[in-house]
């Protein structure tokens, strides 16, 4: 008889968790750092920093090519990270995991490569939404121009939710791809991506999901979603910068030509003809970000210690508390009030420019984002030049939200 031993997860202890992130102990302008810009990038646990140090201190060598000890060790670590990513997002196969620089490069890879296939013909349409990050707009504009396609945009309502009826109407025989964000970085809206994929698939249209903001918060299962492509960045999920993931279903990756040429992506090269390696290596030309890949693996190991539900529960508490506290401030308006939201709160205050809010509270060590958040079309939709945005991770505390609120009162006083 086989006995299944239940996996024991680390208990959610906020103080202990904060101890894992050395930067959270630093002072900024003489005050303890209050880091509320997690949608831009997340902080790194010591385990990730140690993995990078270990690699550069003891294990540094180029991968895939050397037959000596260090090269094999580095290759083994890099490829084991790929396996960790595969399991982390529940891909069917490790060959569906392509290492890239980040979500931006992943979208560019798919757009550029598909534009060199017969997938798109003149007059075809690509659907995105009004709440996309520029990285899920501009690459499609490039190929729309090149392949003479049209870009269609799903509108949103005043709460910042997708107009699903409009989306359904938009789909037609010319639609060749839908590319939408899972969680909006400027509104916090969690989009019904499973439903979007189901609807698009009913018309045989493949779907790319920009998961840059979703992977740090939720357990992602690409098979359950049935996403054709899913992209995210390592630095937003507590890993290093300069590394990210393109997940693609085998049938698409096999059909797509390489994105860049060079070493490592080939099988044979002669001046007459070059043959390419299998997926995913076909898409990974040149020496990759080896340390970044290993660091991302360490970030996944770190997250896997916890029950993701415990992390989500704490973030939901921060979202609820933060929303209530901010709304209690006279003249403050939250932009993005979708029913289903992640821990991102964008806001404006009557008569005060968001840049002033950000700059003044920075003097108290509080870091929030101000600006258009690389989503200019959504700012235009709400007729705003910019918002202030607080975005929380599982290591944030309600006391930090209180400090943000105190900081905003200070700003209001200065502008009174
Ligand atoms: C929703 C979304 N998509 C894509 C990106 C681009 O990520 P990166 O700059 O890491 O490539 C971001 C970054 O903020 C984002 O929030």
Tens of pLDDT, residue by residue over 87-138, are 999 999 999 999 999 999 999 999 999 999 999 999 999 999 999 999 999 9
Pocket lining: 133 vs ligand 1, CB cutoff 6 Å: yes
Task: Report the distance separating Cα 38 and Cα 44, nearest Å.
Answer: 11
The 10s digit of each residue's pLDDT in 204-231 is 999 999 999 999 999 999 999 999 999 9
Using the atom order of ligand 1, give the atom closest to the CA of residue 233.
10
Residues in Cβ contact with 350 at an 8 Å cutoff, skipping those fewer than 6 apart:
331, 332, 333
Work out whether strand 332-335 and strand 274-276 pair parallel, antiparallel, or are unpaired: unpaired
Q: What is the mean pLDDT of the chain?
A: 96
Looking at residue 382, what is its pLDDT? 95
Task: Report the distance separating Cα 83 and Cα 48, nearest Å.
Answer: 17
The 10s digit of each residue's pLDDT in 244-283 is 999 999 999 999 999 999 998 999 999 999 999 999 999 9
Mutate to test the pocket of ligand 1, among 42, 212, 343, 375 (most ligand atoms within 8 A of CB): 212
Pocket lining: 213 vs ligand 1, CB cutoff 6 Å: yes
Task: Report the distance separating Cα 395 and Cα 13, nearest Å.
Answer: 10
Phi, then psi, of 128 in degrees rounded to 5: -125, -170
The structure tokens 């569906």 sit at 96
All structural domains of the chain: 14-36+307-415 (3.90.1150.10), 50-304 (3.40.640.10)
Using the atom order of ligand 1, give the atom closest to the CA of residue 235.
10
Using the atom order of ligand 1, give the atom closest to the CA of residue 105.
11
Ligand 1: centre distance to CA 355 (Å): 21
Looking at residue 119, what is its pLDDT? 96
Ligand 1: centre distance to CA 217 (Å): 14
Pocket lining: 191 vs ligand 1, CB cutoff 6 Å: no
Q: Whose CA is nearest to atom 9 of ligand 1?
A: 104
Pocket lining: 102 vs ligand 1, CB cutoff 6 Å: yes
Pocket lining: 103 vs ligand 1, CB cutoff 6 Å: yes
Q: Whose CA is nearest to atom 16 of ligand 1?
A: 185
The 10s digit of each residue's pLDDT in 290-300 is 999 999 999 99
Ligand 1: centre distance to CA 69 (Å): 37
Pocket lining: 135 vs ligand 1, CB cutoff 6 Å: yes
Q: Establish whether 374 is a catalytic residue.
A: yes
193 close to 227: Cβ distance less than 8 angstroms: yes
pTM for this model (two decimals)? 0.97
The structure tokens 């968001």 sit at 354
């Amino acid at each position: 008889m086989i006995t299944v031993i239940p996996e024991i997860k680390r208990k959610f202890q906020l103080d202990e968790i904060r101890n894992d992130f050395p930067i959270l102990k630093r002072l900024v302008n003489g005050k303890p750092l209050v880091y509320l810009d997690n949608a831009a990038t997340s902080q790194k646990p010591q385990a990730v920093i140690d993995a990078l140090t270990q690699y550069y201190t003891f294990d540094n060598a180029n991968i895939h090519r050397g037959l000596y000890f260090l090269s094999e060790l580095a290759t083994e670590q890099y490829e084991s990270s790929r396996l960790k990513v595969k399991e982390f997002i529940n891909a069917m196969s490790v060959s569906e995991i392509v290492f890239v620089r980040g979500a931006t490069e992943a979208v560019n890879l798919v757009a550029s490569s598909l534009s060199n296939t017969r997938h798109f013909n003149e007059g075809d349409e690509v659907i995105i939404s009004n709440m996309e990050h520029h990285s899920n707009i501009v690459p499609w504009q490039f190929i729309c121009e090149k392949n003479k396609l049209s870009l269609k945009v799903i509108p949103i309502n005043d709460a910042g939710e997708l107009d699903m009826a409009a989306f359904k109407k938009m789909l037609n025989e010319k639609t060749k791809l839908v590319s939408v964000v899972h969680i909006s970085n400027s509104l916090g809206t969690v989009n019904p991506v499973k439903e979007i994929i189901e609807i698009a698939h009913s018309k045989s249209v493949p779907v790319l999901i920009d998961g840059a903001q979703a992977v740090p918060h939720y357990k992602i299962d690409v098979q359950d979603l049935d996403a054709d492509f899913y992209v995210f960045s390592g630095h937003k999920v507590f890993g290093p910068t300069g590394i990210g993931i393109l997940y693609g279903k085998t049938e698409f990756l096999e059909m797509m030509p390489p994105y860049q040429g060079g070493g490592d992506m080939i099988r044979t090269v002669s001046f007459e003809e070059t043959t390419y390696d299998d997926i995913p290596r076909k898409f990974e030309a040149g020496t990759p970000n080896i340390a970044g890949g290993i660091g991302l693996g360490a970030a996944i190991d770190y997250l896997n210690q916890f029950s993701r539900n415990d992390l989500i529960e704490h973030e939901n508490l921060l979202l609820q508390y933060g929303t209530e506290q901010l709304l209690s401030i006279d003249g403050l308006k939250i932009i993005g009030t979708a029913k289903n939201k992640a821990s991102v709160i964008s806001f404006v205050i009557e008569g005060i420019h968001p840049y002033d809010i950000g700059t003044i509270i920075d003097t108290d060590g509080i870091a929030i984002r101000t600006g258009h958040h690389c989503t200019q079309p959504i700012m235009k939709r709400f007729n705003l030049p910019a918002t202030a945005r607080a975005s929380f991770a599982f290591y944030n505390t309600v006391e930090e939200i209180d400090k943000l609120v105190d900081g905003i009162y200070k700003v209001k006083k200065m502008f009174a």
